[in-house]
Amino acid sequence: MADTKILIVDDSAFMRSVLKNILEGAGYSNFVEGENGNDARTKTDSEAPALILLDLIMPETGGMGIIAELSQKAKVIVISAVGQDESVNEAKANGASDYIVKPFENDQVVNTINKVLGL
């Protein structure tokens, strides 16, 4: 579990920090961070993460438009404050393995990640 590389993509440094703390508490320790969709693309190619936690509303390149591309290379879980059904359905149709609406319970994040990784 500790070796599983997770790419956290969110323009909010605060939210990246919250997610890292939750995952560290669950035994994960191998993280890469990105601030937007361009970062997500670059770091997916250079770091080959097993899992990408992807925000949707970000500057420059948002998350929704790159889910299909990223999900060919790693599991993708969307973590977004946008909770409307249309967004959830679109993300899953594009290839997201799951969708978590912010804010979230710590257990919800850990359980979803473990489930998607098959742990």
Partner 1 sequence: MIFKKEVLETALRASGVKVSEAFAMLAKGEVKVTSAEVVVEDKDALLEKILSREASSVIAYSQLMSDINGLALLMLTREDALTLVDILNQREVGTTGVLMEIDRSAIKETLNILSNTQLTALSKMADENLGLGVPYMMPLNNLKLVLSKIKEAQKIPGDDSVIFSTTLSIAGHDISADLFLVFNKEAVEAATN
Can you give the binding site for partner 1, defined by CB under 8 A?
11-15, 17-18, 57-59, 81-84, 87, 102-105
SS3 27: coil
Report how far residue 13's alpha carbon sits from residue 114's, in angstroms, rounded to the nearest whole number: 23
Least Cβ distance, residue 118 to partner 1 (angstroms): 26
Output Rg (C-alpha) for the chain, integer angstroms.
13
Strands, sheet with 98-101, edge to edge from the N-terminal-most edge strand: 30-34, 5-9, 51-54, 75-80, 98-101
Question: Which C-beta is closer to partner 1: that of 3 or that of 14?
Answer: 14
Spatial neighbors of 21 by CB under 8 A, at least 6 apart, are none
Task: Identify which of residues 65 and 83 has a Cβ nearer to partner 1 in the complex.
Answer: 83
At which residue do the structure tokens 């359980």 appear?
Answer: 111
Q: Can you name the residues that pair with 22 across neighbouring β-strands?
A: none
Which residue, 92 or 102, is less far from partner 1 as judged by CB?
A: 102
CB of 12 to partner 1, least distance (A): 5
Measured from the CB atom, is 12 or 30 closer to partner 1? Answer: 12
Write down the least CB distance from residue 15 to partner 1, Å.
6
